[in-house]
Amino acid sequence: MSTLSVDHLLGIKYLNKKDIDLIFETADHFKEVINRSIKKVPTLRDITIANIFFENSTRTKLSFELAEKRLSADVINFSASQSSVKKGETLIDTVNNILSMKVDMVVMRHPNPGAGIFLSKHVNASIVNAGDGAHEHPTQALLDSYSIRERLGDVGGKNVVIVGDILHSRVALSNIFALKLQKANVKVCGPKTLLPKYIESLGVEVETDLKKALEWCDVANMLRVQNERLDVSYFPTTREYTQQFGLNKKLLQALDKDIVVMHPGPINRGVEVTSDVADSGQSIILEQVENGVAIRMAVIYLLASKIK
Amino acid sequence: MIIFVVHVSRYAFMSQRILLSAKEIDIILHRLACQLQENHLDFKDTVLIGIQPRGIFLAERLDKILRESYKVKDVKLGSLDITFYRDDFRRGEKTLQANTTKIDFLVEDKKVVFIDDVLYTGRSIRAALTAIQSFGRPQEIELLTLIDRRFSRHLPIQPNYRGRQVDAINNERVTVLWKENDGEDAVYIVEKV
């Protein structure tokens, strides 16, 4: 069936394999579109999209906005820092006020897990989750898998290790759901303090030795150390983290194969990955960014086609 | 999936008649190739664009005839998908699914020939006219179509080259089958059920 099984993109958890295949297929076509000399199609000219960001974001917001504009949708932006949220307005009131200006779709980032799900039950618009606290960041996981598929041909059967702060990372959780759905093998690697206790229940293995994890994997997804979320000390020093879980050229060259290196950005150069790794041919970090626009165009296109 | 639909419509419902046989199609294709060559000679400044999804079979056939029977060396053939340019987005039940666009040459200042199997309302060609502009400004655009359904146009669009003109009524569908995709060369008129 050539349509999504959902009316909102709240998390990878709510998708099935066919949805992911459909999104990837559609993204292939949009990737061709954004590489033309005229990178725009008129498809969504009667759709208005509100980007509501209650949390800071640069690249996700840019990527969504560009995707919407490439589809010819009308776009309005709203950030919490300059809004009446500070004056005490509730989330539903804020969104309903925006929707009364005839908005069809809402792209929302919010610090609270489940904010998108809550909203989808109470307002009349298609919701795209652009990150909700430590819960999910579905478009990031989709573009990560899409980039793996582009580089390695397929995601199924590949060994993927996610390295870093798994505990606070919505990127990690969405990636685990997406990779498992596509039958990839997943390990997580990081300091014990940053690995959730029951993470194995999601069907992933835990590895605390980065070297062993790298020897096993085809793809290493290096997560950012999110200093802003680390309210207490989870590891002694950044320097010690880098020594144990940072990826450098020496580690890569010690392997008997070329693994693919990914990073959701923004990179702390010299912390999660060294510059020579980030800028090497094995890194697909910039491809991830390019694919982000195509994936978001696909998601918005497919959801918009269900708006009646 | 397409084969299945064709299969059902051809065998489960009785009301269908053959419009063109394989032999007739072959003769028409050769005539269309001749007409193209008459206007474009060596095809130096001409590009052929098959409209996805069903126009590409016709475009590939013409390309083959031009190369093999008429010894045209340099025919440039591409395919154009019009999904994102259609005017019925969100107006049907189904999500419109895209196909591959492959134009690996410049269309700027070229003579473009759109190739599609059936010209019906003209809306696809309207979309194609918009879509091709993303690739440059052609010198001129022509339209070649195997079947021209007369009297059913919604827009002022007419073909420059036509295989056969048909007066099919609105609850009939014209189905063009190609050996490489559907197992036989034939054109049927099928009554919609």
Structure tokens at B166: 């048909």
CB contact B123 to A (< 8 Å): no
Look up the domain containing B122 and give its range: 2-191
Average pLDDT, chain B: 89
- Within 10 angstroms of residue A165's Cβ, the number of other Cβ atoms is 27
Q: Average pLDDT, stretch A78-100? A: 80
Residues of A in contact with B128 (CB under 8 A): none
- What's the CATH number for A12-136+289-304? 3.40.50.1370
Residue A84: pLDDT band with limits 50, 70, 90: low
The residue among A246, A169, A172 whose CA lies nearest residue A204 is A172
* CB of A222 closer than 8 Å to CB of A247: yes
Chain A nearest-CA residue for B86: A43
Domains A12-136+289-304 and A138-284 share a fold: yes
Q: Which of A36, A41, A302 is opposite residue B95, by nearest beta carbon?
A: A302
Helix (H, G, I), strand (E, B) or coil at A161: strand
CA pair distance B12, B1, nearest whole angstrom? 16
Q: Which of B85, B97, B101 is opposite residue A32, by nearest beta carbon?
A: B101
CB contact B137 to A (< 8 Å): no
Q: pLDDT by residue (tens digit) across B80-107? A: 999 999 988 888 778 888 888 999 889 9
CA pair distance A154, A147, nearest whole angstrom? 10
Give me the helices (H) in A114-217, please. Answer: 115-122, 138-152, 170-181, 210-216
Residue A229: pLDDT band with limits 50, 70, 90: confident
Whole-number pLDDT of residue B30: 96
Give me the helices (H) in A123-269, please. Answer: 138-152, 170-181, 210-216, 238-245, 249-253
Beta strands in A155-227 (DSSP E): 159-163, 185-189, 205-207, 219-222
CATH 3.40.50.1370 fits A138-284, yes or no: yes
Across the interface, whether the CB atoms of B89 and A37 are under 8 A apart is answered no
Q: pLDDT by residue (tens digit) across B47-87? A: 999 999 999 999 999 999 999 999 998 899 999 999 999 98
Q: Which of A29, A36, A42 is opposite residue B98, by nearest beta carbon?
A: A29
Q: Average pLDDT, stretch A233-256? A: 92
The secondary structure of residue A39, as a DSSP letter, is -
Domains in chain B, number:
1
Whole-number pLDDT of residue A37: 85
Which residue matches tokens 């997406």?
A178
In the predicted structure, residue B10 carries a pLDDT above the cut 60? no
In the predicted structure, residue A80 carries a pLDDT above the cut 80? no
Residue B2: pLDDT band with limits 50, 70, 90: very low
Which residues, 6+ apart, have CB-to-CB distance to B5 below 8 Å? none
When comparing pLDDT for A57 and B109, which is higher?
A: B109
Here the ipTM equals 0.79
Q: pLDDT by residue (tens digit) across A133-142? A: 999 999 999 9
CA pair distance A130, A147, nearest whole angstrom? 18
CA pair distance B92, A302, nearest whole angstrom? 13
In the predicted structure, residue A81 carries a pLDDT above the cut 90? no
CA pair distance B106, B26, nearest whole angstrom? 30
Whole-number pLDDT of residue A289: 95
Domain boundaries, given as residue ranges, for chain A? 12-136+289-304, 138-284
Average pLDDT, chain A: 93
Residue B137, domain CATH: 3.40.50.2020
Residues of A in contact with B94 (CB under 8 A): 2-3
**pTM of this structure:** 0.89
* CB of B169 closer than 8 Å to CB of B141: no
Q: Average pLDDT, stretch B152-176? A: 91
Whole-number pLDDT of residue A83: 64
Q: Average pLDDT, stretch A33-46? A: 92
